[in-house]
Amino acid sequence: MLSSSEPSQIKLQAANLEIRRLRAQDVPDIMEIESVSFGRHHWSEESFYNEMNNQVGRYYALIHTDINKLVGYLGFWLIADESHITTVAVKPEYRGNALGELLIGHCLDRCAQHTIHWVTLEVRVSNYSAQNLYYKYGFASMGIRPKYYQDNQEDALIMTTPNISSAEYRQLCKDLKQKLDKRLNGLPKGYGT
Ligand SMILES: CC(C)(COP(=O)(O)OP(=O)(O)OC[C@H]1O[C@@H](n2cnc3c(N)ncnc32)[C@H](O)[C@@H]1OP(=O)(O)O)[C@@H](O)C(=O)NCCC(=O)NCCS
């Protein structure tokens, strides 16, 4: 996963957004974002079609409803009491306006409804913007997977939440959700559902 620090141009509010399950017809829009976000070794169309049929997978699209265009997406697996975030990305011109946060918040809300206790992921050691997003949501660095990324042999940082059903973590999510609600003038249709 690559680092992203592009300046953002397009700011959206909750009323112009919707989160819904990913559909096969979203894949071409996703491929555009994949290639600019993850370089040559991004997921293929086939990976997304397969993942949409994965029994343990949950994949969501973030839609700019004014133009009916996908501007972000996120996927995760639910396995026993753990969830693993497999992918998350926001279209470059929409970054820096809390949409990545919206997707992560949505994921954590969904996981809490599935009696998940821990949420984990891997992120490139150089991807500070994504790491900051995860730190904001209480993920901690648990170690390194050496040479995890095949394109440049970069190490992955393994990041994990504390127990998301703990009172402390629920309070953190509540506080962040309130701030997000204020920043986006509400929460979009489909958030947490
Ligand atoms: C990572 C990504 C999804 C973040 O989406 P985003 O919409 O730009 O992020 P947000 O605006 O919601 O930012 C949320 C937090 O992330 C961190 N963050 C986001 N962009 C950052 C940047 N350029 N520099 C430093 N921190 C950043 C901040 O902590 C921010 O909180 P703040 O607004 O209180 O400062 C987006 O940059 C992206 O699509 N990157 C390419 C794909 C990728 O790397 N995915 C992650 C793979 S593990």
Task: Dump pLDDT digits (tens) for 29-38.
Answer: 999 999 999 9
Nearest CA to ligand 1 atom 4: 100
DSSP per-residue letters across 67-136: TTEEEEEEEEEEETTEEEEEEEEE-GGGTTSSHHHHHHHHHHHHHHHTT--EEEEEEETT-HHHHHHHHH
Nearest CA to ligand 1 atom 31: 133
User: Cα(118) to centroid of ligand 1, in Å?
Assistant: 21
Could you give all domains of the chain from N- to C-terminal order, each with its CATH number? 14-183 (3.40.630.30)
Per-residue pLDDT of the chain (193 residues; tens, 9 = 90+): 434 445 558 999 999 999 999 999 999 999 999 999 998 889 999 999 999 999 999 999 999 999 999 999 999 999 999 999 999 999 999 999 999 999 999 999 999 999 899 999 999 999 999 999 999 999 999 999 999 999 999 999 999 999 999 999 999 999 999 999 999 999 999 999 9
Q: Is 131 in the pocket of ligand 1 (CB under 6 A)?
A: no
The whole-number pLDDT of residue 41 equals 83
The whole-number pLDDT of residue 170 equals 97
Q: Is 90 in the pocket of ligand 1 (CB under 6 A)?
A: yes
